[in-house]
Structures are given as structure tokens and as C-alpha cells.
A = this chain, B = another copy of it.
Amino acid sequence: MKRILFDDEHQAYRESVRAFLEKEVVPRYAAFDQAGIVPRDLFTGLGTLGAFGIAIPEEFGGAGVPDFRYNVILQEEAARAAVSPAILGPALHADVCLPYFLDLTTEEQKARWLPGIASGELITAVAMTEPGTGSDLSGIRTKAVRDGDHYVVDGAKTFITNGINADLVVVAVRTGEHPHRGLSLLVVERDTPGFERGRKLEKVGLHAQDTAELVFTGARVPVANLLGTEGEGFFGLTRNLPQERISVAVSGLAQAAAAFDWTVAYVRERKAFGKPIGAQQVIRHRLAELATEIEIAQHYLDRCILALNDGELSVVDAAKAKWWCTELQGRVVDACVQLHGGYGYMLEYPIARAWQDSRVTRIYAGTTEIMKEIIGRDLDLG
């Protein structure tokens, strides 16, 4: 069925995104992949396109239109063009980090940071995970101790997306004992003394994306960089999680849909036993199953996006979308590799890269198990 999510302005924006990706990303994608990072000009390019300013008030350089559908379009077009990993950092910047800067900041902070965020000159990241803790935010141990106008931060974060590129890192730190009410959020800036990047990590996929360790050794962060109130960090984090999860669901489903399309094209062309392999009934039925599940997921996700726009998306519904769309991505991309035969295992085929990239979406932004935990607890079963 026809999607009912988008209006004409979205369509126009989609075309500009598509053109941008064709021109600026596709030809350079192999180089990004090789380098393990995207260049800063990709951020400023997308900033010029308007990809980051959508929700930012006009006074701070944005469009002042908090409509997540524009964000969706970026992810969908990246998937279609087989360059999702290059867009992951920008998407994190726009979908995941920006809300912290919009919702928890003072006017002074807004003025300081939002214009650069909008233009893509200030690249952001968010750092919760540590070597010892991921799913369990209450296990965060990076410590921030007040010392006059500064917090002194000690600890380490890991798996940080945009870890190398980031200029502003929202860091979850421990300012008190209480597992939840002892957490706070600090914005750590690029040249903060005592803040260093650790290794850029080698991953199964997402090769164009810089995922890195961050190390804080007596790093001095001005109190003026505290986001919201001290001790309210946990609530800042969890309040932004629905949008983060929808972002991952969108990207997962878009990559599944792209893989499906490539595969339909492939099985029409590839011949064996005297006919296109798509003429084999088991292949026809397999693709019919995938088509069905992609379509069903898409309609649900589109409804979630509208609810998100209306500020009505619950944590539980976001969790449903997140785990289901990403598990579906896993199933779809895996099946599509199979239908490519040996070619599905060769990196020159986008489906092979899509498979490598796909494995992480069930893990980050909250694992499938944590999503089920959230949904299950809400059922109040005892």
C-alpha cells in the first residue's frame, strides 16, 4: 500500500538529498570505507543542504521545523545509494545528539553550540558506554568531581560513534553514588585538556564510520558545559532514547528495503538451470515473505514517526519498532545474501557490505534483549 507519511515538501527534499549523495558521497564512498572515517566536509555539506538544522530554531541557524520525516529521508536515501555507513555519523549528529542540545541547554549554551551544529562545523557525539558497562547505564563509572568552575573527569568510554570526528561530546558521568540519580551529562569539547581519543576500533562493518574509545584523565570541563541539572543525567538520557531508537529502526528498515530491491533485480537477471533463478518457487516465496514483512514494518514505523513528531511516541512503542525492524533487517539481508550465491560473499557487491553493516543494529541503541525487557516490564506480569 502507498505510504502516507510524506508530503510534497518532503518529496522535494528527498530529491535534493538524493542528488547530494550521488554527487558527494557515492563516488568517494570507497575512499571513506578505506579511511575508516568520513571527512568533515561531509558534515558541512549536509549542513548546507539543511540536514542538521531542521529542528533548530531559526535564530540559531536552523529551519525551526521539528519534523523527523526529514531525518528519515536522509537515512532512506543513504540506504538506497548503498552508503549508509557514511551517513551514520551525520544521522547520529542530527537524530540522536541534537535533542540534547535543544532540550537540555541554556540560552547561552544554545547560542554557543547550535549554529555550529546546524552548519555541520561542530560535530557531536554522545558517550554513555564504557568498557565495563553498556546495557546497564547505572554501571557508569566515569567520574566527574566538582572543582570550582570545573568538573574534573576521569574514566573511559568506548564504542563512541563520531568518536574521532566529534568536537562536542555529551558524556554521561557519575557525580554521585545513586545508580540513577548520581548521573550527569557534560559536554566535553575537542581541546579539553585531559581528554584524548583512544583507538579507532576495527569493526565487522560500518567501515566508513569512526567508532572510537575516549579517555579522560583529569580532564577539566567547565561547569558551564553541564547539560541540565546535576544528577538529572539519567533522565536526560532515557528521554532521548525513543528518538534514537526510531532512528536506528528507520535505518535498519531502509537498508532491508534496499537489499530487497537489489535482490529482486538480481534474481531476475541471474540464470541457472535454463531460467532466471527468480522463477524458482522457493525463491519466489522467500521474496514474497520478505516483501510482506518489510511492508508491514514500514506501516508501523511510519505511524511511530508521526507519533514522534507529535511528541506522543512512548518508550515502549519505540522499543517495539527498534527490535522488530532491526531483527527484520537481519533476516532480510541474510536471505538476500543467500540469493546472491557466491557473489553475496564478495565485497564488491553492495549486498555483502550491507550484511556486514547490518549486524550492529540489533546491538546498539539498546540491544534486542533490552527492548524486550522494556516491553515486557510494561506488561506488568509479576
Contacts and interface: CB of A to CB of B under 8 A. Distances in A.
Contact of A268 (B289, B313, B377, B382): B382
Interface in A329-382: 330, 334, 337-338, 341-342, 344-348, 352, 355-356, 359-360, 362-364, 367-369, 371-377, 379-382
A218 to B, nearest CB: 26
A1 interface: yes
A129 interface: yes
A307 interface: yes
A379 B296 contact: no
For chain A, what secondary structure do more than half of its interface residues adopt (helix, strand, loop), or is it mixed?
Answer: helix
Please tell me the size bucket of the interface on A.
35 or more
B299 A347 contact: no
Contacts of A314: 1
Nearest to A377: B284
B292 A323 contact: yes
B382 A367 contact: no
Contact of A363 (B202, B287, B345): B345
Contacts of A334: 330, 359
28 contacts: A1-B307, A132-B271, A134-B341, A138-B273, A158-B342, A202-B346, A204-B345, A204-B346, A268-B380, A268-B381, A275-B382, A281-B281, A281-B282, A281-B373, A282-B285, A284-B373, A285-B376, A288-B375, A291-B320, A296-B296, A299-B299, A300-B300, A337-B359, A338-B363, A338-B369, A342-B363, A344-B359, A355-B359
A280 interface: yes
Given A342-B364, A345-B203, A303 B299 contact: yes
Nearest to A337: B359
A379 B264 contact: yes
A201 B345 CA distance: 10
A379 B338 contact: no
B296 A324 contact: yes
A200 to B, nearest CB: 11
A352 B201 CA distance: 13
Contact of A276 (B272, B291, B381): B381
A175 to B, nearest CB: 21
A346 B291 contact: no
Given A1-B317, A268-B382, A296-B324, A282 B203 contact: no
A135 B299 contact: no
A194 to B, nearest CB: 25
A376 B288 contact: yes
A379 B290 CA distance: 11
A167 B209 CA distance: 40
B338 A285 contact: no
A204 B356 contact: yes
A278 B271 CA distance: 24
A47 B281 CA distance: 45
